[in-house]
Amino acid sequence: MPTKSGTFWVNWADTHAKNSNSVEDLVEPFRSNAKSFIKALKDAGATVIVSTTRRSDKRAYLFHWSWKISQGKCKAADPPKLEDVDIQWDHGTEAESKRGALEMVNGFGLAVPPQSINPPSLTSHHITGNAIDMTIKWTGTMNVKRSAGTTVAIPFMSNVNVNSALHGVGDSYGVKKLKTDAPHWSIDGH
């Protein structure tokens, strides 16, 4: 019997479809590229907090559809079934269905507008080990080495999605910024 969307599924995913936050779980060459970029940031004085590297397809499914339903981007009847995930998205009313989905979005800590304007992907590079979600913190301006060894001055900006100097340094390491999702970096910027 299906279980309605809500907090239950956050707990279920934390047991049956865990995220990894270990850089070691990424695939090569992205793993080495991410390690080099993170080292350059830390050497420049930044704090780097990795929240996600690998993600199961089941967790991606729960992220995607809970985000879309909670944000009114689809109806609760729209998600296809996924094997081994016996979830009931439709609670009978749109308001109740959105409430259950929003419990999941909040429980998973998903970014919503304005921090992220796109739903989490069903085919994310996180599933293949070619993406990393990380928060990068520093104050003032830090001087970061690009992969070629030159140094770039990067001012702190509260919106990482518009910090083109930071994106350029990441690019030099083969770690590209998705400019619509604050923590997300990947092999190709998607």
Dihedral of CA atoms 65, 93, 5, 112 in degrees, nearest 10, equals 40
Residue 136's pLDDT band (cuts 50, 70, 90): very high
In the prediction, which pLDDT does 182 show?
Answer: 85
* pTM metric for this prediction: 0.81
Cβ contacts of 187 within 8 Å, gap of 6 or more: 30, 125, 130, 131, 174, 175, 176
Q: What is the pLDDT of residues 170-184, one digit of tens each?
A: 999 999 999 988 899
How far, in Å, CA of 190 to CA of 186, rounded?
6
Q: What is the pLDDT of residues 75-124, one digit of tens each?
A: 999 999 999 999 999 999 999 999 999 999 999 999 888 878 889 999 99
Residue-averaged pLDDT of the chain: 96
Which of 23, 44, 80, 66 is CA-nearest to residue 165? 44
pLDDT mean over 4-20: 96
Cβ contacts of 45 within 8 Å, gap of 6 or more: 138, 142
Reported as type and span, the H/E element at residue 99 is helix 94-108
How far, in Å, CA of 103 to CA of 93, rounded?
16
